[in-house]
């Protein structure tokens, strides 16, 4: 690059960053409008709100010059938008407009869909509401960065496509076929995703390893109807008891998962990564202390960081059977059920894990009991080639914005789309997000830091610029 062109580019970036600084208020208002839409994808009652959310995005993107449309799927629709007028390497930004359910509602200290600002004791500001962090806030920091580039320069630094999904929180079964069907349209040189955490409130991070997920629901059926436990107690099979045994047997006494072949494809953490992670100064006491805990509860002999980043897990996300209301009811239910998820690492195969779980259940079914299974999405774990120059450019951009070296870390939560982008489109993904561990995503009182929102926009403005070089 010539010295002149370099100066010109720098000047343009500074103008874009300044534009973001002076237009924070309207950006916040747009986010609030988006947060008011109750796009809970897992509950069919909110289907119309999910579509409304997609339509809001398409309209907003069209207003800043994207060729944007709501695209139907058998489930909630996608939003696809393109602005590919620039030269240089192309990027596909992926985000999701759907949010988690809000129960238990009584634990929120405000209406989860009436977003609000609040000031913390340290003087910093937070944005409160369901989806403020996961993923509406994080989607908007990217879109606002694009808006600023367009406002200041009339164009984007590189060709950009945007894909927003409406089923990330509910299995996302329609994404892989959509990607395959529209591979030619969606393929780009690099993927960009903003659905992850910073290392801490001051340290930007790129996640280069992500756990996969295998979600499964099991129903244990016994008698043809609910029974009185006085008349039938012990003589009749109790699905609660059968299910408790099945769930208890998922782990051995050392906290290891007992499913057959579960640890196939799970190597010890490569020494280089272990050394890297050791430098992070991760404090398990602080990590657990924030949620009222003190002792890592997983596999014995593993560090808490391994447990959440590089080891697979089995968690019972929900279970229920019989009478759960006020008071007592001496009933033996006809059915009991559980929602179980497995976090997968390295080369674990979600389909083999699902099969092993079903085998585990069937092996523990006593006479007269029947198991029924329901699949809730799956995604392999993923690792990105951090030697690719795009990763170095993005890291430098983040370092410049935050004034502190950005780090390559891993992620405990799966983002199945990363594996799907790799499989369907052959793309690697830069996962740079500005959420924080205390954002309470999926929980009551979700929030997004004002700093994450502001510097997140600036970070994406810088990354778009860096990728153009």
Least spacing, CB of residue 240 vs its own copies, in Å = 4
- Can you spell out the DSSP letters for 69-85? EEE--SSSPEEEEEE--
Least spacing, CB of residue 439 vs its own copies, in Å = 9
ω into 135 cis (within 30 of 0):
yes
Least spacing, CB of residue 150 vs its own copies, in Å = 34
The Cα 195–Cα 434 span in angstroms is 8
- Can you spell out the DSSP letters for 175-220? HHHHHHHTHHHH--SEEEE--SB-SBTTB-EEEEEE-EEEEEEEEE
Task: Please report, for residues 85, 178, 390, the alpha-carbon distance to residue 185 in angstroms, rounded to integers and kept in the order given.
Answer: 15, 11, 21
Nearer to its own copies, 32 or 287 (CB): 287
Yes or no: say if 247 and 385 are a contact pair by the CB < 8 Å rule: no
Could you tell me where the beta strands, DSSP code E, fall in 62-143? 67-71, 78-83, 91-96, 116-119, 125-128
Nearer to its own copies, 187 or 339 (CB): 339
Nearer to its own copies, 34 or 214 (CB): 214
Nearer to its own copies, 36 or 442 (CB): 442
The Cα 71–Cα 178 span in angstroms is 10
Q: 198-202 — which CB contacts under 8 Å span 24+ positions? A: 198/433, 198/434, 198/435, 198/436, 198/452, 199/280, 199/407, 199/409, 200/436, 200/437, 201/436, 201/449, 201/451, 202/402, 202/404
Least spacing, CB of residue 459 vs its own copies, in Å = 21
Identify which of 94, 66, 67 has the alpha carbon closest to the alpha carbon of residue 167. 94
For the record, the structure tokens of 134 come out as: 């996961």
Least spacing, CB of residue 424 vs its own copies, in Å = 22
DSSP state for residue 257 in the 8-state scheme:
B
Nearer to its own copies, 89 or 101 (CB): 101
Yes or no: say if 91 and 158 are a contact pair by the CB < 8 Å rule: yes
Instruction: Determine the distance from the C-alpha atom of residue 20 to the mean position of all C-alpha atoms in its chain, rounded to a whole number.
Output: 26
Yes or no: say if 407 and 203 are a contact pair by the CB < 8 Å rule: yes
Identify which of 197, 175, 191, 219 has the alpha carbon closest to the alpha carbon of residue 378. 175
Nearer to its own copies, 93 or 108 (CB): 108
Least spacing, CB of residue 427 vs its own copies, in Å = 22
Least spacing, CB of residue 178 vs its own copies, in Å = 19
- Can you spell out the DSSP letters for 244-263? HHHHHTTB-TTS-B-STTTT
Nearer to its own copies, 313 or 449 (CB): 313
Nearer to its own copies, 39 or 170 (CB): 170
Least spacing, CB of residue 361 vs its own copies, in Å = 13
Nearer to its own copies, 161 or 310 (CB): 310
Least spacing, CB of residue 411 vs its own copies, in Å = 8
Least spacing, CB of residue 464 vs its own copies, in Å = 28
Nearer to its own copies, 215 or 350 (CB): 215
Nearer to its own copies, 316 or 392 (CB): 316
Least spacing, CB of residue 189 vs its own copies, in Å = 28
Residue 65's SS3 state is coil
The Cα 40–Cα 33 span in angstroms is 16
Task: Please report, for residues 38, 256, 274, 344, 345, the alpha-carbon distance to residue 348 in angstroms, rounded to integers and kept in the order given.
Answer: 35, 15, 20, 6, 6
Nearer to its own copies, 190 or 213 (CB): 213
For the record, the structure tokens of 286 come out as: 């602080």
Least spacing, CB of residue 83 vs its own copies, in Å = 32
DSSP state for residue 234 in the 8-state scheme:
T
């Amino acid at each position: 690059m010539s010295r002149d062109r370099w100066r010109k580019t720098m000047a343009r970036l500074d103008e874009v960053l300044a534009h973001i600084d002076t237009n924070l208020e309207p950006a916040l208002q747009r986010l609030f409008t988006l947060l008011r839409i109750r796009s809970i994808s897992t509950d069919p009652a909110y289907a119309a709100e999910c579509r409304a959310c997609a339509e809001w995005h398409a309209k907003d993107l069209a207003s800043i010059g994207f060729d944007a449309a709501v695209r139907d799927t058998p489930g909630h629709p996608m939003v696809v938008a393109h602005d590919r007028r620039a030269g240089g390497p192309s990027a596909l930004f992926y985000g999701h407009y759907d949010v988690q359910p809000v129960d238990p509602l009584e634990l929120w200290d405000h209406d989860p869909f009436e977003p609000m600002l609040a000031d913390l004791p340290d003087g910093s500001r937070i944005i409160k509401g369901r989806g403020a962090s996961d993923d509406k806030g994080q989607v908007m920091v990217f879109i606002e960065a694009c808006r600023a580039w367009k406002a200041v320069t009339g164009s984007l630094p590189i060709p950009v496509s945007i894909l927003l999904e409406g089923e990330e929180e509910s299995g996302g079964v329609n994404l892989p076929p959509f990607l395959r069907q529209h591979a030619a349209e969606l393929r780009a040189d690099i993927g960009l995703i903003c659905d992850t955490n910073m290392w801490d409130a001051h340290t930007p991070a790129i996640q280069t390893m992500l756990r996969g997920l295998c979600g499964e629901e099991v129903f244990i059926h016994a008698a043809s109807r609910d029974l009185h436990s006085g008349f039938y107690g012990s003589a009749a099979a109790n699905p609660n008891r059968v299910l408790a045994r099945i769930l208890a047997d998922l782990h051995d006494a050392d906290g290891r998962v007992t499913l057959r072949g579960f640890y196939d494809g799970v190597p010890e953490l490569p020494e280089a990564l272990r050394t890297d992670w050791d430098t992070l100064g991760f404090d398990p006491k602080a990590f657990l202390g924030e949620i009222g805990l003190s002792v890592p509860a997983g596999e014995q002999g593993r560090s808490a960081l391994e447990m959440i980043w590089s080891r697979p897990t089995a968690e019972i996300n929900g279970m229920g059977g019989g009478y759960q209301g006020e008071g007592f009811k001496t009933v033996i239910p006809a059915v009991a059920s559980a929602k179980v998820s497995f976090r997968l690492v390295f080369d674990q195969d979600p389909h083999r894990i699902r099969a092993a779980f079903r085998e585990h259940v069937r092996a523990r079914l006593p006479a007269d009991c029947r198991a029924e299974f329901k699949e809730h999405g799956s995604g392999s774990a993923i690792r990105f080639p951090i030697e690719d120059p795009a990763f170095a450019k993005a890291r430098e951009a983040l370092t410049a914005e935050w004034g502190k070296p950005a780090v390559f870390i891993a992620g405990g939560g799966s983002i199945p789309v990363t594996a799907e982008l790799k499989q369907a489109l052959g793309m690697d993904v830069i996962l740079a997000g500005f959420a924080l561990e205390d954002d309470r995503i999926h929980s009551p009182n979700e929030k997004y830091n004002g700093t994450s929102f502001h510097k997140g926009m600036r970070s994406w403005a810088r990354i778009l610029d860096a990728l153009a070089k």
